[in-house]
């Protein structure tokens, strides 16, 4: 019965004028048993509103196939959204303006892009490297070498020492050496600060000071806080991302100094979105604290979460930071309105700072970071909730407000990924071993298990290529002093490196 009514709706709509269509469509939808779409998930919106013409499995019918990569009326997200919004009566395409909200139409675009990628990926090949073969990409061929494939758990970040050794963090709280010849030192470094491993948090970032050879400073980004045992229940955990530095003598952590340790009142029991990456430049350290699920907290300058911070490398606040004179603002804040950046890198050509930021479903971003700028979360997002509902937040009066895709005064991303790739790890390639990749940005991805190479010109992404795929979740990607590319993988936990073919 419902299928017949859907067909009748489509038949009658084909011969209506646009004003008539808008007048009678709600009634026709009501007769067909389709309830208001305001409170339903995107999968259900598609099933109830779109599948009658385009097929339950997107295979087409009276309407076209939606997952073959062919878009008759424009292939950009904006053009697809316009087609859904305005329809095309001559071709029998119903206009959904006034029936679906802008957020729901955006959710449909995300949903269709996800399904399109899944379908197209079945017939595509990506560079999936293995140690026994050469992997070909557009500009360079390479081999992959496995350095460490056992003895580590949840590795998170890598840093390079002048003597050829590397430092590796494990989320559980272990800091390890990798020897100059690429072997895991079985003895961990003792005496680092207590790490609260909680959800996505733990021991995360590690970096060495640019003048390490002279001063010996090593910096760590970690989840700092307290854990209290509760009889008969879960531990009570309160934590937040902090930055500390120290020196390593033998296998001991010494001369410890806190660079940024947020007041305990800012600690949270949430287990998500700790952020954490470092960039050093001209005596400053830039670092990220994720929003910890706090939504509108990222818009509050009196809170540290959801912010990129900038301090002198000894922890002092620079006098020219954008909010130094703002009442109640945390003076180290450099930019705000961030969700969960887990990539931070600076373009050596012009000193431009970039971050990759986990969005919600369909909302991963590459952002150009400017002092004092607001990056919009959760007021602005290109994504939707993981459950398929439009993204929303609560205003000062407690009422729910739907997020929008753009807003004056809030920065738009340089690039975004739809579907989401789960960005993590970021570095500019500046070496000579892969000369045709010089100054390209390497973007790691967890969910899509890939590394993308982005070419940036005049602060715009002009091309991108997947250069590695499906050998594990890419947690960190970094160029070493030797010009080779080091990759930390989770699932399975490994450290590998990319070397030119023939080397």
The pLDDT, as a whole number, for residue 503 is 56
The candidate with the shortest Cα–Cα distance to 247, out of 204, 203, 216, 213, is: 216
**Active-site entry in 6, 54, 198, 273:** 273
Report helix, strand or coil for 239.
strand
Helix orientation angle between 2-14 and 18-31, rounded to the nearest 10 degrees = 170
The pLDDT, as a whole number, for residue 89 is 78
Average pLDDT, the chain: 90
pLDDT bin (cut points 50, 70, 90) of residue 5 is: very low
Is 123's pLDDT higher than 80?
no
Q: What integer is the mean pLDDT of 199-224?
A: 98
SS (H, E, C) 167-216: EEEECCCEEEEECCCCCECCCCCECCCCCCCECCECEEEEEECCCHHHHC
Please list, in sequence order, all residues whose beta carbon lies within 8 angstroms of the beta carbon of residue 138, skipping any fewer than 6 positions away. 465
Which is more confidently placed, 169 or 121? 169
Q: What percent of the chain has pLDDT over 70?
A: 92
Q: Is 358 a catalytic residue?
A: no
Which range among 21-35, 198-212, 286-300, 430-444 shows the weakest confidence by mean pLDDT? 21-35
Q: Is the CB of residue 426 less than 8 Å from the CB of residue 277?
A: yes
The candidate with the shortest Cα–Cα distance to 364, out of 315, 452, 284, 423, is: 423
Q: How far is CA 271 from the centre of its chain?
A: 17
Q: Beta-strand (E) ranges in 359-417?
A: 364-369, 392-394, 400-402, 415-417
Helix orientation angle between 77-86 and 102-121, rounded to the nearest 10 degrees = 130
Dist CA 80 CA 108 (whole Å)? 9
Q: Which residue segments constitute the domains of the chain, with CATH numbers given?
A: 2-121 (1.10.760.10), 135-179+189-226+238-500 (2.120.10.30)
**Of the ranges 26-35, 84-93, 121-130, 321-330, the best mean pLDDT one:** 321-330
Q: What integer is the mean pLDDT of 157-182?
A: 97
Region for residue 173 given its phi and psi (left: phi exceeds 0; alpha: psi -120 to 50; beta: otherwise): left
Phi, psi of 29 (to 5 degrees): -65, -40
Dist CA 227 CA 249 (whole Å)? 29
Q: What integer is the mean pLDDT of 413-440?
A: 96
Phi, psi of 271 (to 5 degrees): -105, 15
């Amino acid at each position: 019965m419902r299928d017949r009514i859907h067909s009748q709706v489509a038949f009658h709509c084909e011969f209506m004028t646009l004003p008539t269509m808008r007048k009678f469509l709600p009634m026709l939808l009501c007769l067909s048993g389709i309830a208001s779409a305001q409170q339903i998930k995107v999968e259900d919106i598609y099933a109830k509103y779109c599948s009658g013409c385009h097929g339950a499995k997107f295979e087409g019918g009276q309407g076209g196939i939606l997952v073959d990569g062919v878009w008759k009326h424009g292939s950009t997200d904006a053009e697809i959204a316009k087609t859904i919004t305005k329809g095309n009566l001559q071709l029998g395409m119903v206009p959904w303006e006034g029936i679906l909200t802008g957020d729901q139409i955006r959710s449909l675009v995300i949903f269709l892009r996800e399904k399109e990628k899944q379908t197209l990926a079945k017939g595509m090949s990506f560079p999936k490297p293995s140690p026994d073969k050469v992997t070909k990409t557009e500009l360079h061929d390479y081999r992959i070498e496995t350095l460490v494939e056992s003895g580590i758990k949840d590795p998170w970040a890598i840093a390079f020492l002048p003597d050829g050794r590397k430092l590796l963090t494990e989320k559980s709280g272990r800091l390890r050496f990798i020897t100059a010849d690429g072997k895991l030192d079985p003895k961990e470094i003792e005496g680092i600060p207590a790490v609260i491993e909680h959800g996505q948090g733990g021991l995360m970032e590690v970096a060495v000071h640019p003048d390490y050879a002279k001063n010996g400073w090593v910096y760590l980004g970690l989840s700092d806080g307290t854990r209290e045992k509760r009889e008969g229940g879960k531990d009570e955990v309160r934590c937040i991302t902090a930055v500390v530095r120290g020196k390593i003598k033998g296998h001991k952590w010494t001369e410890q100094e806190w660079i940024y340790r947020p007041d305990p009142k800012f600690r949270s029991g949430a287990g998500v979105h700790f952020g954490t990456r470092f960039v050093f430049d001209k005596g400053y350290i830039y670092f990220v604290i994720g929003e910890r699920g706090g939504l509108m907290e990222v818009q509050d300058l009196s809170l540290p979460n959801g912010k990129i911070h900038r301090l002198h490398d000894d922890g002092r606040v620079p006098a020219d930071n954008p909010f130094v004179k703002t009442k109640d603002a945390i003076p180290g804040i450099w930019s705000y309105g961030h969700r969960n950046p887990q990539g931070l890198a600076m373009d050596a050509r012009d000193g431009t700072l970039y971050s990759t930021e986990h969005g919600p479903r369909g909302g991963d971003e590459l952002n150009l970071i400017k002092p004092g700028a607001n990056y919009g979360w959760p007021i602005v997002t290109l994504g939707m909730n993981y459950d398929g509902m439009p993204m929303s937040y609560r205003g000062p009066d407690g009422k729910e407000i739907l997020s929008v895709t753009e807003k004056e005064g809030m920065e738009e991303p340089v690039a975004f990924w739809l579907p989401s790739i789960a960005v993590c790890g970021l570095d500019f390639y500046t070496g000579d071993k892969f000369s045709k990749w010089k100054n390209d940005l390497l973007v790691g991805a967890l969910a899509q298990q890939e590394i993308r190479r982005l070419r940036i010109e005049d602060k715009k992404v002009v091309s991108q290529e997947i250069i590695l795929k499906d050998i594990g979740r890419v947690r960190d990607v970094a160029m070493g002093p030797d010009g080779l590319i080091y990759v930390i993988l989770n699932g399975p936990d490994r450290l590998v490196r990319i070397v030119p073919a023939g080397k």
